[in-house]
Structure 1
Amino acid sequence: MHAPVRLAVPLLAATALGHALHLLELLRGANLLARLRRGAQAPQIGWCFHTADGLPLAATDKTLGPLLAPMAQEGHCEGAPTHWLLAPLHTADIPSIRSVVAAHGLLVRRLALGLDQGEQVLTLGSGAWLAAATGRLGGAQVALPWYYIAGFCNDHPDIGVAVGQQHCSAGPWMSAAMPQQATALAVALAAQGLGHDLAQALEAATRPDPLREQAAFEAQQARQIRSTRDSTLARAIAFLEKHLEQPYALDAVAKAAAVSPRTLLRHFREGLGHSPLDHLHALRCARARVLLEITLEGIPGIAQACGYQDPAAFRRIFQRHTGMTPQAYRQRQSLRAPRQRWRVNPAGLGTAEKKPPGA
């Protein structure tokens, strides 16, 4: 089960605004994934900008300017915040951080009231000083950059530092040491507001994955084999990649590799530990994984695009290579919903297409 997430973002003069907006962009991505998977009625994470005193700013407030106004309108939500995002403070040193906190007593009191009422705080880097100043987080732990640890421990000895951790979740406090760890906070919020499956999808979409990158590239075009790798295996593999959709013929592969079929089988067995046909199945399944992830094409269409005329044979081979059926893989990994009626309007990304008659 998931609960509504409404994020309050105070705008202080010292706020490192870019880091706050980076987290909001990640949440925009999470909302987009939710709409792609579940349609226009999917739950959404909301946010609202607040003044330096902790008061909400209307999405139409002119002080937001042309940069923040569209973001405020997109995240518009009703009700009290469930979370407060305290971005890093753009200051020269720790004494300057203390001065900023001392100058924003109204915001600190609003944060304290919110914590008393069950709201949570998220902090990036030095934003932790604002959360700690509430006096409500004794006994908690916080993730901090190494260069802040000594000063923070002197100011707040009742709060522990999660040494060696780049992000930490302790009761009502989620923290990240460095702005690069904003993704971890976004994934945690997505789990609360959208569900664990969409949180996992967001994490997968924002995490570098060399294997998927290679599979996506190979699905678009055959990998180029450098002339310095002009070997029997290289020639055979290049042929298989180029003729991925065509029926398999050992004689044709051997001819492309300039060896006999028997010699080709020996090269594959000794060099890769499997047959040319097994290698072709692996290449086809790599393409199928990408198509299952990024398209709404049906299983028979994907089977044909990967060289299988029989969808049942494709299902058996795909399950042997991946450990799951194509449909199960799509449900677990895809960024789009498998059902045609959940496609979104490319212009608005907020309205689902009408369901076809008779569907």
Structure 2
Amino acid sequence: MHTVAVLALDGVIPFDLSAPVDTFGRARLPDGRTPYRVKVCSVREEVGAGAFTVRAPYGLDALADAGTIVLPGVAEPPEALPGAVAQALREAAANGTRIASICVGAFLLAATGLLDGLRATTHWAAATRLAERHPEVTVDPNVLYVDNGQFLTSAGAAAALDMCLHMIRKDFGSAVAAHAARMSVMPLEREGGQAQFIVHDLPPAPAGATLEPLLAWLEEHCDRDHTLDEIAARAGMSARTLNRRFREQTGTTPLQWLHRARVRRAQYLLEATDHPVERIAARVGFGSPTAFRERFRKVAGTSPQAYRRAFRAGAERAS
């Protein structure tokens, strides 16, 4: 059984604490077994969490036995961690323990020095502050979460759930992660990858934006070989206007958005089927397997076969 230690410090943000406890705690293997043991740890038995107090049954010594440590955000991240906390985290990291942060918990992880030289994310409203306080960390405020292999960081509240599901899928495969997502009443949408892969969702349009119907249609029909002019005609506007609207509402171009939608669908097929890469390439709308492999590597940061192996390994551990 994999132990997840959630480290609660004074001022812990309630949702940041409950997200890993609930998500990992609800995970179940196909035979009903519980794959994770979740432990809430702290430097003392009780810590403040805004309107209420949290009781932590475990001390810092529990971090040494954990396979994963999660650092929830705190209301006001300290300039430096208490010495015992920093030492425990560094020792755990030296032993290969996976450490993840939620929201402004990235400040806590960065304070250990473990993120030096790595890319990381946090809530967009705190990104500038994190970059100023820790210039040795490359802060990217435009992603849901960042997986550097051993160290992960996530953005705001919803992204914390995405990151936890990503770790479950890496550990035990898509079926286990999908069950945990259903138990949390959320879709399993953000596909993961391997070390150094930054996970991006499809660039969204703001609620009520004029492109919403078009984006829904493109995602449903991403297996077709659309041209920019055809997409523009579907939207009832010129290609130039369409490009401008896409950049305004999604931050990318129509064809880049379409390529990402195709890769997302390909990720699902790689995880859930035994179809050869050539068949998947055709099913998601790429003209050739070579073009598919090149685009998949550009978007996902790895090859289709390597991606499949990574998640099949997790599924085998769950069996």
TM-score computed with the length of structure 1 as normaliser = 0.44
**Max Rg structure:** 1
- Which structure shows the bigger proportion of residues in strand conformation? 2
Task: Report the TM-score, using the length of structure 2 for normalisation.
Answer: 0.50
- Higher relative helix content: 1
